[in-house]
């Protein structure tokens, strides 16, 4: 694969126990769509796959970004790992390349901004992509569960890690 290749559409999907979050980018600072999809009840995986399939069919991404759930990557529950494999199969059927990054890869990509945890990632992303500022949840207290909006920043972080790993594709600034 050519590292200098521009991707017309990048879709990042971050899976969690409630469902998933997705972000669609045209370039590293140009998100065109994003959302958080929650699923409840039985057959969560099949309902998530149906929703992800709709997103893939709508945007026809040139690459799909997921969290690395291999033994060397990030450990997740079996249900989420199975869902991740289902997404990989969907991408293979649609002939969409997959890129996967572990939590360590993401934190390394954001280390130059001093990001050491999910909250730091959310603040850095909101600072660089103003459209996400309003989604930053308040600081989490020890007794609170994670805010659902954090998965949106996890998806964005996966996509931005992809752009960073490709040599930091920069948006062209218009001449002054």
Share of the chain above pLDDT 70, in %: 90
pLDDT tens digits, residue range 142-173? 888 888 899 999 999 999 999 988 865 443 33
**Is residue 102 one of the residues assigned to a domain?**
yes
At a CB cut-off of 8 Å and minimum separation 6, what does 74 contact?
67, 68, 102, 103
CATH number, residue 46: 3.30.420.10
**pLDDT level of residue 1 (50, 70, 90 thresholds):** very low
**pLDDT level of residue 6 (50, 70, 90 thresholds):** low
**Is residue 85 one of the residues assigned to a domain?**
yes
Q: At what angle do helices 118-128 and 150-165 cross, to 10 degrees?
A: 70
Which helix (H) or strand (E) is 90 found in, with range? helix 78-94
**Is residue 109 one of the residues assigned to a domain?**
yes
Rounded CA separation 2/61 (Å): 17
**pTM, entire model:** 0.87
- The pLDDT assigned to 28 comes to 77
Domain residues for 97? Answer: 10-165
Phi and psi (nearest 5°) for 143?
A: -90, -5
């Amino acid at each position: 694969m050519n590292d200098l290749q521009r991707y017309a559409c990048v879709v990042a999907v971050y899976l969690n126990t409630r469902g998933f979050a997705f972000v669609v980018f045209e370039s590293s600072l140009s998100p065109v769509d994003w959302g958080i999809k929650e699923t409840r009840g039985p057959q969560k995986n099949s309902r998530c796959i149906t929703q992800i399939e709709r997103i893939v069919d709508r945007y026809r991404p040139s690459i799909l970004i997921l969290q690395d759930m291999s033994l060397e990557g990030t450990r997740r529950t079996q249900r989420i790992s199975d869902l991740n494999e289902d997404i990989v199969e969907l991408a293979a059927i649609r002939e969409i390349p997959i890129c996967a990054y572990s939590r360590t890869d993401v934190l390394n990509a954001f280390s130059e901004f001093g990001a050491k945890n999910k909250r730091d990632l959310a603040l850095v992303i909101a600072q660089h992509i103003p459209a996400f500022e309003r989604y930053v949840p308040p600081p989490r207290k020890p007794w609170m569960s994670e805010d659902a909006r954090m998965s949106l920043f996890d998806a964005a972080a996966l996509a931005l890690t992809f752009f960073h790993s490709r040599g930091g594709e920069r948006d062209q600034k218009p001449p002054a």
